[in-house]
Structure 1
Amino acid sequence: MLCRLYGVFYECFVNVGSADVALQPGPAITWRTIGGILDFYVFLGPDPASVIGQYLEVVGYPTMPVYWALGYHLCRWGYGSSNATWDVVKNMRNYGIPQDVQWNDIDYMDRSLDFTFDPAAFSTLPDMVKDLHSHGQRYVMMLDPGISSVQPEGGYWPYDEGLRRGVFINHTDGSTLIGKVWPGLTAFPDFSDDVTHEWWYDNLKRFHDKVPFDGLWIDMNEPSSFVDGSTVGCPDTELENPPYTPGILGGLLRAKTLCASAVQKTSSHYNMHSLYGLLEAKASACALKRMLGKRAFVISRSTFPSQGQYSGHWLGDNRSHWKDMYTSIAGMLTFNLLGVPLVGADVCGFSEQTEEELCVRWTQLGAFYPFTRNHNAIDQKPQDPPAFSPLARSAMKQSLLLRYSLFPLLYTLFHRAHTHGHTVARPLLFEFPKDVRTYGIDRQFLWGKSLIVTPVLDPGVDFVVGYFPQGLWYDYYTGDSIRSKGEELRLKAPLEHINLHLREGAVIPTQRPNTTLFVSSGQPLHLVSSLSEDGSAGGELFWDDGETIDTLETDQYAHIVFTVVKNTMTSEVLHDHVEASYITVETASFYGVKVEPTRVTVNSQDAAFTYRANQVRAAVLTIKHLIKFR
């Protein structure tokens, strides 16, 4: 699908064929495709946020993620052993650094074979996973679609059983197409066939009985191969050599992938190539739901429209460069527009050696990726938070605790994405479409409509310049106000600090953070209200058990709306469920209270409060009282 966004409408060209896009000197785009059905959609808006919602009505709203997906993930290619992986987890715990999920890259496998683990270096992997579970943490493993085809007969069940069931992609003569990936010569499952989905589930179930993993990372699923087409080449046909070839790697449709003429159940690979990652994600998500009885967690490299219904996405192999950190913001925002809000880049960079300052700043930015994972390459020095100096480690820890404190807001934003097609992270232009200065901003972004993030993206500085659209803004940490005419402002940004500001008129729910979201999500709420000039504000909270499938459809959730009007905050329970029994408010802060009150009551009872006048129009009223919604 190729789309372009205008001020009042969104035009999309839906096509699965190989294609390219040519940008013209003027305000024009040329789309070229070599086949497929040509579907065009025009979404009329009237504003950017509306057209994205209309687009997602066509391709499908994103799935509601399992709660721990929104925690901090840690991975690397090259831990070398399960014990070394386990030591990193233990170090994170010893330093009190939040971590919900530990991953392993391909090196956990026995000879890079899917559905295996190295019996020597990773012999303690099952024990490590059990230990993670005992601490409320989760484990995610990598899988590639390439299935080794050269193991002794009867020695590798995935291939033997795949041949028996006929799940692999074939040549036109009916023989199994063989390419080459990490384990050597490999066959490729045809995920367009329901039989393959059942075979995929059986493999996952057999491996889960040995290593009780919680989620899947599916990689190399373009599908990618180290040879062009197959080990025996491809036939000389029009599918392999069309009259026009888009500007792709190698100038051939088969370059580093499968023969275009390869046969899948639904059609030729020529027509199915772009759908491979989507169909694998669907098979994976369905298998996990069936196996675990909970929401599925899948992260995929290859994507296609509708991907958000089945998986999230990471932005691929980046480098430990400041430029790569900066460009990750555009990638994150783009995938939110495309209905894949669970997205992020490899924090601190994947390839090349990171620097301490870069890793600190990237961890601060990554704390505001909807999906946040630190991941680096083999033969590089460790870049997990405990690997750095006490100062850097402390700064990283604080940024992650900040993320965990904002979990109620983030979870509610994902609910909005799931039910209404909203973006989680969004560009400023979405909220301020009439302010043309927001159109090109790619160094700041919003969570929802009210929390603006202004990260440091350059080395050696202790300040950052951010743009604030017209209106009243509050420093998230202090409540200090900024009344902007629509201007750039220089903000202090020492190494341990990332700038956050609240837009006027918001009520956001936060929590006291802990080292896992399982513990954090049981903590009382702290409500932060950023009052408009007239003293009003509003917000909401969506809450459920975090992992049950279809809680909205089965009424197993709580939905609470907060409103501030005329010096009074009210909470209205729009939908009540058992989760509401555990929702309490520990404290509430109000930014922008102009006059110190003489009395504050909670449910008609006098309550203790503090009033701090930071500056004109920036006083903060804080009430410490425990309120139970039921």
Structure 2
Amino acid sequence: MSRSVSSDVILQPAPALTWRTIGGILDFYVFLGPDPASVIQQYVEVIGYPAMPIYWALGYHLCRWGYNSSDSTWETVKSMRNYGIPQDVQWNDIDYMEHFLDFTFDSAKFATLPDLVKDLHAHDQRYVMILDPGISSSQPEGSYWPFDEGLRRDIFIKDAEGKTLIGTVWPGLTAYPDFSNDVTHEWWYDNLKRFHDKVPFDGVWIDMNEPSNFLDGSTEGCPSNSLENPPYTPGILGGLLRAKTVCATAQQKLSIHYNVHSLYGLMEAKASASALKRIVAKKPFVISRSTFPSQGMYSGHWLGDNRSQWKDLYTSIAGILTFNLLGIPLVGADICGFSEEPQEELCVRWTQLGAFYPFTRNHNTINMRDPTAFSPLARTAMKQALLLRYSLFPLLYTLFHHAHVHGHTVARPIMFEFPKDIKTYGIDKQFLWGKSLLVTPVLDPGMDYVEGYFPEGLWYDYYTGEAVRSKGEELRLDAPLDKINLHLREGSVTPTQAPNLTLWVSSGQPLHLVSALSDDGSASGDLFWDDGESIDTYENNQYAYIVFNVSQNVMTSEVLRTHEEATYITVETAAFYGVKQKPSRVLVNSQDATFTYRANQVLTVADLGLNLSQNFTISWM
């Protein structure tokens, strides 16, 4: 069912939903599944498959509202490097702007911003800054190009009388670009390009795009009619359609605002992604607050301003999983919480969970602390969690490929893989990456253990290879402060890499393959690999795709498609969890190889030096 107009959706105690809407056209789509994953695939086929993210989007991002200067931002970056904490992207909130004006930077406090960005690039890091849609309308004529040029091209939303609608956002009085107009997209591109020539940013963060307004409607109010005051108003902020946004009667190129309000962030994301493709000629990186079906084609999402509380840590899981169901897999919550001072223990646990958000960003408010400000013990635990994420980049990148091509989820509810196990239906404290990596985070203070549900079958401790055989039960797991529990599902092959401080470096490291064998000794997995940043590599056949299979004591690697990027990567080690007897020989491409075998049934073959782009076999007897 798709509609932009306002509505209530009420979940009843019975298995039923009630829609209450103020009108509009009702389009019903029924997706028959038969299983949950198929329903989502069918839904995404209708709304559009999510974009494949640029590789560094999957690294660690750091942001704060209140760095106050480019030098203090820079100091944070240097501090992260000094402590050896991985970081791919540094962000700035609205502080960097001159009087909060879009497409400007404060020439006093942020004078060194271009140099900071140059330094980030020299260290294989990236820069992202915020943009709000509200364009200041109160600057002296001729002094602020974005507004002057916007007026000249007639791209702003108008009020019911046809005059430019004026609201209030951070810079004061503002006009709102009408992103339903193609001319606005070109104007947006021109502004981004002009700013990029001064500060060569790598991605954009679009906020306040509901669209937000510190007033209700406009400086002139709104007309009194049935659009502004419908017979039924859903339970929305302020009880008014115009509360903290623009008038329902405002005019846009496509229609009146009443009809397209909820599309505003989507249309801005489309304009932003399109502009970035032209400016940087790479996969665009856009994160948006407002979203609508199809958003995943253009941007990712963060879950908005949360609080530094344990409850917010817990509820973030449901938020991440929900957006994966909605075809927006690049999603995360503000790690450690946005507002309030986070306790050290909370921040450590949140960094561990956040390392398994598809989009991983620590973002906090004025005067709060970043990871370098905590104790050595906490810093080390956070660093370990982020290095763990970086080591799993080959798996995560491949999962995003399957989201892009097949409409799969990246972070996945356990019930998707075990739809016949009703005990999985209500689980919101654990989740899967893909079909086989189970994440069981600590979500409560003062705990050195965690209880997690394991669906029936064989699971392996990710770190040790220790087997866990479950009948479909809750199990108690040790969870000291420096550990997040991960388990591999039987029958899976997981590609990992030696991590480094940026994904550019770690993505060039040798691969380590972890095979979690079923009782019959079988496992399978795959790897998607490209240059990480070119647009449409899958569509243009500019990628490598390798399938791994294990059966009857033989692992085979089958290169279904090769690409030059894969020729630089080697497979250095392979571990097999669940090898029931110690082998007498291990052969790699029919040649004897050295190996180790531990009492917990883990076979490891090291120093392989195999080229990823060539088929290979590893066998044991």
TM-score tier after normalising by the smaller chain length: over 0.9
Aligned to 1:4: none
Q: Residue 141 of structure 1: SS of its match in structure 2?
A: strand
Aligned to 2:425: 439
Aligned to 1:484: 470
Aligned residue identity for 2:273: A
Deviation digits for residues 287-342 of structure 1, max 9, x if unmatched?
Answer: 00011110000000000000000000000000000000000000000000000000
Q: 1:621 aligns with which of 596, 599, 604?
A: 604
**For residues 192-341 of structure 1, what are the structure 2 equivalents within 5 Å?**
192-341=180-329
**For residues 124-523 of structure 1, what are the structure 2 equivalents within 5 Å?**
124-378=112-366, 380-382=367-369, 384-523=370-509
**For residues 540-555 of structure 1, what are the structure 2 equivalents within 5 Å?**
540-555=526-541
Single out whichever of 254-263 and 33-42 deviates more from structure 2: 33-42
| CA distance in 2: counterparts of 1:55 and 1:303, whole angstroms | 16
CA contact (8 A) 1:320 1:349 kept: yes
| CA distance in 2: counterparts of 1:295 and 1:417, whole angstroms | 16
Deviation digits for residues 399-429 of structure 1, max 9, x if unmatched?
Answer: 0000000000000000000000000000000
Q: Residue 201 of structure 1: SS of its match in structure 2?
A: helix
CA contact (8 A) 1:608 1:625 kept: no
Aligned to 1:527: 513
CA contact (8 A) 1:106 1:142 kept: yes
Q: Residue 42 of structure 1: SS of its match in structure 2?
A: coil
Aligned residue identity for 1:20: D
Is 2:51 the counterpart of 1:63?
Answer: yes
Q: What runs of 5+ residues in structure 1 fail to find an aligned partner?
A: 1-12
Q: Residue 607 of structure 2: SS of its match in structure 1?
A: strand
Aligned residue identity for 1:48: P
Per-residue deviation at 1:555? 0.9
Q: Residue 14 of structure 2: SS of its match in structure 1?
A: coil
Per-residue deviation at 1:484? 0.2
Aligned residue identity for 1:314: W
Per-residue deviation at 1:24? 2.5
Per-residue deviation at 1:278? 0.2
| CA distance in 2: counterparts of 1:598 and 1:269, whole angstroms | 73
Q: 2:582 aligns with which of 586, 596, 600?
A: 596
Aligned residue identity for 2:457: G
| CA distance in 2: counterparts of 1:453 and 1:622, whole angstroms | 26
Aligned to 1:3: none
Q: 1:84 aligns with which of 72, 85, 89?
A: 72
Per-residue deviation at 1:381? 2.7
CA contact (8 A) 2:209 2:265 kept: yes
Per-residue deviation at 1:623? 3.6
CA contact (8 A) 1:479 1:620 kept: no
Is 2:55 the counterpart of 1:72?
Answer: no
Q: Residue 86 of structure 1: SS of its match in structure 2?
A: helix
TM-score by length of 1: 0.97
| CA distance in 1: counterparts of 2:12 and 2:493, whole angstroms | 44
Aligned residue identity for 1:395: A
Deviation digits for residues 362-404 of structure 1, max 9, x if unmatched?
Answer: 00000000000000011x332x211110000000000000000
Q: Percentage identity across aligned positions?
A: 77
Per-residue deviation at 1:580? 2.4
Is 2:564 the counterpart of 1:578?
Answer: yes
Deviation digits for residues 469-496 of structure 1, max 9, x if unmatched?
Answer: 0000000000000000000000000000
| CA distance in 2: counterparts of 1:22 and 1:469, whole angstroms | 31
Deviation digits for residues 218-273 of structure 1, max 9, x if unmatched?
Answer: 00000000000000100112110111111111111000000000000000000010
Q: Residue 342 of structure 2: SS of its match in structure 1?
A: coil
CA contact (8 A) 1:358 1:459 kept: yes
Aligned to 2:9: 21
Report runs of 4+ in structure 1 exceeding 3 Å deviation.
618-624
Q: Residue 28 of structure 2: SS of its match in structure 1?
A: strand
Aligned residue identity for 1:593: V
| CA distance in 1: counterparts of 2:170 and 2:105, whole angstroms | 14
| CA distance in 2: counterparts of 1:622 and 1:573, whole angstroms | 21
| CA distance in 1: counterparts of 2:578 and 2:605, whole angstroms | 11
Root-mean-square deviation (Å):
0.7
Per-residue deviation at 1:508? 0.6
Per-residue deviation at 1:37? 1.8
Aligned to 1:6: none
Aligned residue identity for 1:454: T
**For residues 40-119 of structure 1, what are the structure 2 equivalents within 5 Å?**
40-119=28-107
CA contact (8 A) 1:593 1:621 kept: no
Q: 2:18 aligns with which of 12, 26, 30?
A: 30
Q: Residue 27 of structure 1: SS of its match in structure 2?
A: coil
Per-residue deviation at 1:624? 3.3
| CA distance in 1: counterparts of 2:476 and 2:333, whole angstroms | 27
Per-residue deviation at 1:578? 1.1
| CA distance in 1: counterparts of 2:245 and 2:524, whole angstroms | 51
Deviation digits for residues 13-53 of structure 1, max 9, x if unmatched?
Answer: 21111111123232211101112221101111110001100
Q: Residue 391 of structure 1: SS of its match in structure 2?
A: helix
Q: Residue 174 of structure 1: SS of its match in structure 2?
A: coil
How many residues align? The count is: 613
Aligned residue identity for 2:592: D
CA contact (8 A) 1:609 1:624 kept: no
Deviation digits for residues 83-140 of structure 1, max 9, x if unmatched?
Answer: 0000000011111110000000001100000000011110000000000000000000
Aligned to 2:619: none
| CA distance in 1: counterparts of 2:371 and 2:307, whole angstroms | 18
Q: What runs of 5+ residues in structure 2 fail to find an aligned partner?
A: 615-621
Aligned to 2:618: none
Deviation digits for residues 450-474 of structure 1, max 9, x if unmatched?
Answer: 0000000000010000000000000
